[in-house]
A and B are shown apart, each in its own frame.
Chain A
Amino acid sequence: MKNRKEIERLVLLRNSGELDDHKRIEIDERIASDPEVARLCSEMEEMKGLVRIKDEEALVPDKAIETIMHAARRRSRQRRTGVVGYSFSWRPAIYSAAAALLLLSTSLLFWQKLAPQAPSSNYAMLNLNWNSKIDEQLSELDQLVTSTLLEYSEEIDSQRDLNSLAREIINLEEAQI
């Protein structure tokens, strides 16, 4: 303990009960033997006594106390009836998230395994059959149309030939006349 500042610091710590035993004994001895340190210590105690607010100064208005007590009663009633604000806690949130994840992965696994037998897949198969049947009919219709068109075009061609033959005959007859 070299200077006044250091002594004052130790006295402050001693008074607030934060010195270890060794230091406390040391400062107590110093207080007992050194009038200057003893004076410092008593000065602080004296100031503390004078600073403290007197009871008559610390009069809190009744209205403020009533408001506090009203809030306390309301809160206490809420707590008893269970109607109290939800307080967030991590543990249930983590458990819920883990359960949801497990459920999701299990469902995914089942869906992958059972997908072909699922009613929805039968429906898809039915759709597929229908589609292929329609395709077949369409191609048959297409062939029919094409062949009919060909026949017609042959007929037209032959008709055209007959027409030109008839015209030639008429032309020859006119020339003979």
Chain B
Amino acid sequence: MKSQTEKIKLRILLTGVGGQGTLLASRVLGEAALEAGFSPLVSETHGMAQRGGIVVSTVVLGELQSPIISPGEADVLLGFEALEAFRALNYCHPKSLVIANTAAIPPYPVAIGKAQYPRIGRLMELLAAQVGGLLAFDAEDRARQAGSPLGVNMVLLGALAASASLPFSDADLRQILSTRTNPKFLEANLKAFQSGVDAAGNDKYWLKRPAAWH
């Protein structure tokens, strides 16, 4: 197991808005990686930044010691909110895989008419042109349909698990969800997770397929 885990380098950046559950998602990825024999590093935002601001966390796997990710070096970007996914473009490189929630949470300046929220279709189009792959869909809607309105994180984890970019399976992630998250929400969480898996299997959400898959 060890020789295999050492060869890989994988840097995952998660970005969203306070309250969207980015911390739990990064923790679950970290636990799954630990279970798979890696020595993952997960870095989190706490404190002042959480009061309605942007929350970024990172998960780093394999032959790496640094807990954070530099601009231009995220292999995978999980964008929990459309604008924040686009804002993190500077963390991507030309081969990055981006999985983005297309639902918007208007920032306060937008909510009071002091700034414009850019057109989401345009954000996704521009994003797709800069990165290696883009899977974009309304994860909020899918979470709601799965009976878990706060389950955007579970939907995105499911989509990530099904994107074949992780060195462990979606079954491994489900296993972690069932042992590390609140049992009260497990059924809804697993349903939201599956909805994300399904989204990744739907061609229409792939605004750009990663080159290696063609």
A and B are interacting partners: no
